[in-house]
Chains A and B, each alone.
Chain A
């Protein structure tokens, strides 16, 4: 079991490494958001300096983040987990179309390994990309543009919580996309389904909007959104004093995120088992 799991995971990672266009596409959307959307939405410039808005107002709006871009940059770092795992599900469809899934299913490898390897690869891959986006968001601030300011002193626990949030969020979305991949047969249908999920999930999360401008009902919806749970962990760790604006510790959000991941894992496992069982 361990041997087949590691062999299949290695195959998934090799495959991604040999298809850099998938990595570039994963990064494209978050980077465009950072460079275009994030720069244009410099909410701190409201009033053009003629109206003095107390800093506390912005702190409340951005839940302790020093600027909108800092708040938003953390959101985009979490969003990478969604764009990077999208290809893990697409690979299921392509593997089916090109016979690779048929070959694997004809081997004694268990459905758990076949699914688990994809999940493992899907959970590992986004970590590097997320830190790349975070690094870019910080770098922009040093290039004379709006940039992400890390105002907290990050310790080992903080970094571990950030990594855990990205890994668990990636695991959740990898499960979801793998489940969709096992359920659909055509790439067109897959990408249509994924697009129908991505945007609503992003728009009902706290990744984009300042928390303070969201209507109460959207705050309620966003509170349970897995992207919100992950970016809450990031923001609490990246911005000094941010914890005062969050009702829970990062550990609680990680727990909630873990619940999402388990639910998606169960659904995806059932669908993968069904897809890999002898046809009826």
Chain B
């Protein structure tokens, strides 16, 4: 399959010392939904800014839709769609005017503008508010308008930089529904950054986990979860039996067993398929079975596994913010010395 995005050794250092992105390499197939997952300050937005010709890299190169990003930034801007994490629609224009302006800037053929604008307004369910100023829109409507502006020129690659930040769960679900529809209808490649693990799991065919400027893992959500050692099976016997642990360990496919407070936690690939055998082992040992549950590992556990840290919405600064702060600090030191 053709590559829509190829990044090789991409690096960005701010102020000569803050390495926001460090030697990042990855590729995204055409039509794929690829997620960049990581906490604030991990380097997600810096990577998107470089891939969309908004930020010059310190090192490496990138090709998007067959075009070298750093040699032909204007051509890249023509080919991609970009939805920022913050609202960028003009609050003093109506939803329709925002779309018409974007259509003119992206050179959408004049005869197609009206049809495309009307169609997008309807699709994003802002048709009724099309002639209202964008400043009167709700958060969800503004996000949908942002998405409409980002795709007015039917880009082949769509970059979404934390597009659902600040939206309520209903708003987020609605937004992703539109993205999935667009992918289905237009075969668009989607590159998204998020720190909502559930979103990445539900939308992306492949993921890269980025932490402190480095990619620490890449794969499908299932592959990443499988690397943890598979599913977690929790067995609670009716009565304690010293021989049960050995019996459970002996079941083919079980990779580890830990006992705690009379409950056994097993790790196994394809846990559901092992349940009958495990039930049988409990019965044969005489311990009996009070309950059994099988849980697929979540991306939270994946993140913990690969970064050694709990995944949480860190209140910390973004890589760019950190760089700015470091720059200000260095300037202050310089002034103090003088």
Contacts and interface: CB of A to CB of B under 8 A. Distances in A.
Interface of A: 3-4, 6-8, 11, 14-15, 18-19, 98-100, 102-110, 278-280
Contacts of A18: 92, 133
Contact of A100 (B77, B82, B88, B100): B88
Contacts of B78: 108
Determine which residue in B56, B87, B104 has the highest number of CB atoms from chain A within 10 A of its CB, and name it: B104
Determine which residue in A14, A18, A278 has the highest number of CB atoms from chain B within 10 A of its CB, and name it: A278
A7 B54 contact: no
Contact of A103 (B49, B73, B100, B149): B149
Contact of B102 (A6, A107, A110, A280): A107
B133 A105 contact: no
Nearest to A98: B91
Determine which residue in B56, B78, B105 has the highest number of CB atoms from chain A within 10 A of its CB, and name it: B105
A156 to B, nearest CB: 35
29 contacts: A3-B107, A4-B104, A4-B105, A7-B100, A7-B101, A11-B93, A11-B97, A11-B101, A15-B90, A15-B93, A19-B92, A98-B88, A99-B84, A99-B86, A102-B54, A103-B88, A105-B54, A106-B54, A106-B77, A106-B82, A107-B77, A107-B105, A108-B77, A108-B106, A108-B107, A109-B105, A278-B53, A278-B56, A279-B54
A18 B93 CA distance: 9
A103 B56 contact: no
B88 A107 contact: no
A234 B261 CA distance: 94
Nearest to B100: A7
A103 B77 contact: no
A11 B54 CA distance: 23
B18 interface: no
Contact of B88 (A6, A14, A102, A108): A102
Given A100-B88, A108-B74, A280-B55, 18 more contacts: A6-B104, A7-B105, A8-B105, A11-B97, A14-B93, A14-B97, A15-B92, A99-B87, A99-B88, A102-B54, A103-B88, A106-B82, A106-B84, A107-B105, A108-B105, A278-B53, A278-B56, A279-B55
Determine which residue in A6, A8, A103, A108 has the highest number of CB atoms from chain B within 10 A of its CB, and name it: A103
B84 A102 contact: yes
A54 B209 CA distance: 88
Contacts of B149: 103
Nearest to A19: B92
A272 B93 CA distance: 23
A107 B285 CA distance: 69
Given A100-B90, A102-B88, A279-B49, A107 B106 contact: yes
B89 interface: yes
Contacts of A11: 90, 93, 97, 101
Nearest to A103: B88
